[in-house]
Amino acid sequence: MKLSAQRARELGRALCDTVFPPSCLNCGDLVEASPLRHVCAVCAPLIQRVEPPCCSCCGHPFFGEASGERICVHCEGLLPAFGEGRTAVLFKGPARALVHELKYRHGLHALEDIATLLVGHTHTAEFLRGALLVPVPLHKRKQRERGYNQAVELARALALGLGGGTRVVELLARDTDTQTQTNLDRKERRANLKNAFALAPGAVITTDHRHVLIDDVFTTGSTLNACAAVLRRAGCLNLDVCTFGHG
């Protein structure tokens, strides 16, 4: 009997799960009969998927009365260099646990669930399918420390899951090893990011293609906007952004 690669992977995973049952990244319980692999059946429904109406810049949903607005309070003053922004989920609870595992605990396995949530969500899947996905770059030193750039890995997983001509193009490089952005306000972030990004050596922009910048989380939008400005200056006309979480 010959096994297909897909079937072999499934069997391998089933065996692995029997020997080392996965535990939920959010609550620590065993993951059984869950739509996700690293979030249990109790925590999975706690992930808040974003549905329209939402801010056309960052993708944050409008709750209640504010559905007439285009830009939310997070984005006032951002002056986006990109067209539209979408996000799949709110960055809290189990969604936050997945990103933390991916970014800070060398947990590349969390990517599987993050990609599942993005690809399985029409709101983001339709937005991304067929586009050229441009991951937000990491500085070389950080990438060495982490072992990978989570935005590149995410973009690759999305291209694979979405099909339809969706491709990853690594057009950007991060030249400056900026200090962490966490404790800075928007103005400080913008100054911190000035000239941090550049076109990657040999990068070619195909102006007639739609490009979508990919990152794990939309916080103030400063990083994505700095990347978008570089792509715009290089002649990119049709440019949007998409993140997994907003928070």
Q: In the bound complex, what is the minimum distance in angstroms from residue 45's beta carbon to Zn ion?
A: 10
Cα gap 166→187, rounded to integer Å: 34
Pairing of strands 132-135, 238-246: unpaired
Contact between 58 and Zn ion per CB under 5 A: yes
Taking the complex as a whole, how short is the minimal distance between the CB of residue 70 and Zn ion, in angstroms?
Answer: 9
| Contact letters for Zn ion, residues 175-214 (x by CB under 5 A) | ----------------------------------------
Coil, helix or strand at residue 197: strand
Q: What is the closest distance, in whole angstroms, from the C-beta atom of residue 188 to Zn ion in the complex? A: 19
59-92: b or e for each residue (b if 16 or more CB lie within 10 Å)?
bbbeeeeeeeeeebebbeebebbbbbbbbbbbbe
Compute how many residues bind Zn ion; rule: CB under 5 A: 13
Residue 165 Cβ, how far from Zn ion at the closest point, in Å?
29
- 75 near Zn ion, judged by CB under 5 A: yes
Cα–Cα distance, 119 to 36 (Å, whole number): 13
Whole-number CA gyration radius for the chain: 18
How far apart are alpha carbons 13 and 28 in whole angstroms? 20
Q: Torsion angle, CA of 185/186/188/193, rounded to 10 degrees?
A: 130
- Stretch of residues binding Zn ion (CB under 5 A), selected from 15-23, 37-45, 139-147, 183-191: 37-45
Q: Of 114 and 138, which has the nearer Cβ to Zn ion?
A: 114
Of 58 and 111, the one with the shorter C-beta distance to Zn ion is 58
Pick between residue 75 and residue 152 the one whose CB is nearest to Zn ion. 75
Q: Based on the shown chain and the rule CB under 5 A, indicate whether residue 50 belongs to the binding site for Zn ion.
A: no
Residues making contact with Zn ion (CB under 5 A): 24, 26-27, 29, 40, 43, 55, 57-58, 60, 72, 74-75
